[in-house]
Structure formats: C-alpha cells, structure tokens
Amino acid sequence: MTISLCTACSVAQGQGEATARPAFVTATLPPTPVPQATRTATLPAPATSSAAEGSEPSVSEGITTTQINVRAGPSTASAALGLVGPFVKVQVIGKDASGSWYQILFAESAAGQGWARAEFVQVDSPEKIPLTGGASAAGAAVSGLVSQRINVRKGPGTEFELLGELNSNDLVFITGRDAGGTWLQIEYASAADGTGWVTAQFIKTGNIESLPLIGGTQPAATQAAGDSTPTPGASIRTAVQDGDTLQAPQGAAVFSSSASRALQVNGEVSAPGDAEDWIQFSSASESLSMEVQCAGGTLDVSLWNNEKPVDGFSLSCGVRQPVRVTPHSKYVLRLFQNTPGSTTYMLRVEVIR
C-alpha cells in the first residue's frame, strides 16, 4: 500500500509521485510492510555553497509519506532519477515557485540532488524553504501548472499515441500551441524528441496566444475536450498480510495549518489475504472531506475514535462527502474487504478550507 500527504500534516509515521481521481494522483504499489521509524534515505553530506563562504546551504529535514519518484526537474514530465521509499528521512534544500515540488539531496543522482512532490514530503516549516531551480531544460520561459491528472500525447489530439501522464500540481514548460489553442506542446523528457502534447484546458498558465504556433492544422478527429486519465482497472491479486491493526495502523498523519492538509492512501485488501487496512489521522480543523475510489469490488469503510466505531459514519466507494471531527482527537479509518475477492482502493482525506 502507499500513503501520501499533501503539503501545507505532520507525519508520525503509501510508481511514483503519487495518481487518482482528476483532482489528485498517486500510483498504486504492491503492499508494503509496516514502516519502521528508524528508516533513513542514503543522502550525500550537505555541500558548502562556495569555498569562500564556507557555509552550508539551508537544509530542512523531511519525511516521505509515500514511495516517490525523484525527478531531474519539478515535474513528472522530467526524467526519473530513482525512488525513495515511504517514511524515509530526506533533506530538503529548496522548492519551486509554486511550492508544489521540493528539491532534495539525492545521492543516487549525478548532481547529488533531485526533485520530489512537496505534498508527499512532510516538513515542519515549508515557508522557510528557499526558492531554487525549476528552469526549463531548453531555456523556455513559459511555465504552467497541471490542474488535474491528464494524458500526454505524441500530437495535438486524442487520436495520437499516448506517451504518459501528468499529475495534478505538476510544473510543465510549454514550448508551443496548436492552431486552435486547445492543445499545448510541452517539454517531456521520456518522449523520443523530448516533447509531448496536452490539452490546454487543464494547464494553468499565462496568455497562450503569446506561444509559438507548432505544426499545421490538427487532424479532423482531434477533440477539444479534456483528455483526462480513466480510473485504473480492477486487480485480482491477493493482498499480502501487513500486520496493521487498530492499535498499530499502517501510518498516521496530523493535519495542521502550517504543514500537510491532505492524506492519500493507495492500497489493496482481499479475502482471503489481508482483509483490512487501518489509517490514523488527527486534524486541527473540524471540517474534512473524505472519499474512496475502488476497483474490483466494494469496501466497508468505518471511522473509529477512542477505539470505538463512530456512530452514523458511512463512506461508499466513489462518493466524496464532508465529515466533522473533534479537533486534535485521534481517528482511525478501517477499510475492510467484506466479500470474497480483491479490491484496490485510493483513499483521500482532506481539510476543507
């Protein structure tokens, strides 16, 4: 299972950046064992900014809240440098202008650093992290922010080959547009020519009319509607026993105004196999929203407080609903496979602003 937190909840204790419903995204991973608090990432020693100054760069300690991809730049369109597991300590040295990505020390990369999604790295004081990097590899000046998970295609239309996906809050560098302004060409490292196309509908950017026109007229079958990603298909695997219980949940998160404000969990339960997952959280706010997306079956989702189920609580697959909780009180969500079979799920708990 994978667990992830959005930037802006502290963690007591989840391929990739994290993928999901159009508003957020995380990749489903094979079940992971109960995390150990002592696990740390292999990190290089902090380098001095210059020999003359002899001072170390500003470093903030963070903890990953899901298995993450480390990228060469602040976007899933950038080249993948390697993986960092869930609940691993990392050293954060900077962030991009949008605050959606953190630059971290990463010994496995040639430069000794890389970029990770900020929503999946818990730090105590994100406002103290300095702005760094985030430049286009080709020197392009126009950047954009992805508003929901979308497909990247080889050309400006849904009939073109699918190259991959971008996630909500990805930073992209835009190199051009089609004649109608409904598709944008972006830098995309995994493509053969280093570029891909996305629908402009889900990219937040400036005046697209200032972008250069790329190519001629688009094919007749091209659609102007959004090219978003479908819900993942069902899994028939048997979930591995991970040993979590009400007293020892898979992970725990604390939502606060200065730290994380959303918890996202990708997991799988099955009967026979591991029939239940337990996820703990507490919140400084009393107003939350919860939803669970399911594939392959349905789940019995219950909310527990003081080791007792909360009366009247109900959460069905595919439904997003508001929930009121007692501030700073510990709650635990139980996701239970109540029929024979296997269900993969994505749970999202978020503070309502």
Tokens of 13: 């204790």
Please check whether residue 13 is in contact with residue 89, taking contact to mean a CB–CB distance below 8 angstroms: no
pLDDT of residue 53: 42
Beta-carbon contacts of residue 52 (< 8 Å; ≥ 6 apart) = none
Of the two residues 182 and 264, the one the predictor is more confident about is 182
Please check whether residue 262 is in contact with residue 290, taking contact to mean a CB–CB distance below 8 angstroms: no
Residue type, 12: A
Please check whether residue 333 is in contact with residue 304, taking contact to mean a CB–CB distance below 8 angstroms: yes
Please check whether residue 149 is in contact with residue 19, taking contact to mean a CB–CB distance below 8 angstroms: yes
Does the domain at residues 22-128 carry the CATH identifier 3.30.70.20? no
DSSP state of 190: T
Flag whether pLDDT at 67 surpasses 50.
Answer: yes
Flag whether pLDDT at 25 surpasses 50.
Answer: no
Cβ neighbours, 10 Å, residue 209: 8
Model pTM score: 0.45
Which of 34, 36, 132, 14 has the alpha carbon at shortest distance from 89? 36
pLDDT of residue 337: 92
Cβ neighbours, 10 Å, residue 312: 6
Flag whether pLDDT at 2 surpasses 80.
Answer: no
Flag whether pLDDT at 43 surpasses 60.
Answer: no
The SS3 assignment for 240 reads coil
Q: Which string of DSSP letters, residue by residue, matches 101-158?
A: EEEEE-TTSTTSEEEEEGGGEEES-GGGSPB-----TT----EEEE-S-EEEESSSST
Of the two residues 206 and 43, the one the predictor is more confident about is 206
**Phi/psi of residue 110, nearest 5 degrees:** -60, -35
Q: In which residue are the tokens 């695997």 written?
A: 237
Give CA angle at 31 (26, 37), nearest 5°.
90
Confidence of residue 211 (pLDDT cuts 50, 70, 90): confident
Confidence of residue 156 (pLDDT cuts 50, 70, 90): very high
The SS3 assignment for 210 reads helix
pLDDT of residue 213: 87
Of the two residues 208 and 18, the one the predictor is more confident about is 208
Give CA angle at 67 (66, 71), nearest 5°.
115
* 305 class by beta-carbon count within 10 Å (0-12 exposed, 13-18 middle, 19+ buried): middle
Please check whether residue 63 is in contact with residue 90, taking contact to mean a CB–CB distance below 8 angstroms: yes
Residue 107 Rama label (left phi>0; alpha psi -120 to 50; beta): alpha
Domain 251-351 fold: Jelly Rolls (2.60.120)
Q: Convert the pLDDT of each residue in 133-145 to its tens digit.
A: 655 555 545 778 8
Tokens of 342: 């296997």
Whole-number Å distance between alpha carbons of 319 and 321: 6
pLDDT of residue 281: 92
Confidence of residue 6 (pLDDT cuts 50, 70, 90): low
Of the two residues 32 and 134, the one the predictor is more confident about is 134
pLDDT of residue 227: 66
Confidence of residue 278 (pLDDT cuts 50, 70, 90): very high
The residues that bridge with 80 in the sheet, in sequence order, are 71
pLDDT of residue 145: 81
Of the two residues 4 and 341, the one the predictor is more confident about is 341
Q: Which string of DSSP letters, residue by residue, matches 54-85?
A: --PPP-EEEEESS-EEEESSSSTTSPEEEEE-
Q: Convert the pLDDT of each residue in 215-266 to its tens digit.
A: 754 443 444 455 665 444 433 457 777 788 999 887 778 887 766 677 777 7
Whole-number Å distance between alpha carbons of 136 and 78: 10
pLDDT of residue 229: 57
Helices and strands (DSSP H and E) totals, the chain:
0, 25
Show me where the domains of the chain are located: 22-128, 251-351
Flag whether pLDDT at 298 surpasses 50.
Answer: yes
pLDDT of residue 94: 93
Q: Convert the pLDDT of each residue in 307-333 to its tens digit.
A: 999 999 989 999 899 999 999 999 999
pLDDT of residue 17: 55
Report the pLDDT averaged over residues 205-210: 73
Please check whether residue 87 is in contact with residue 39, taking contact to mean a CB–CB distance below 8 angstroms: yes
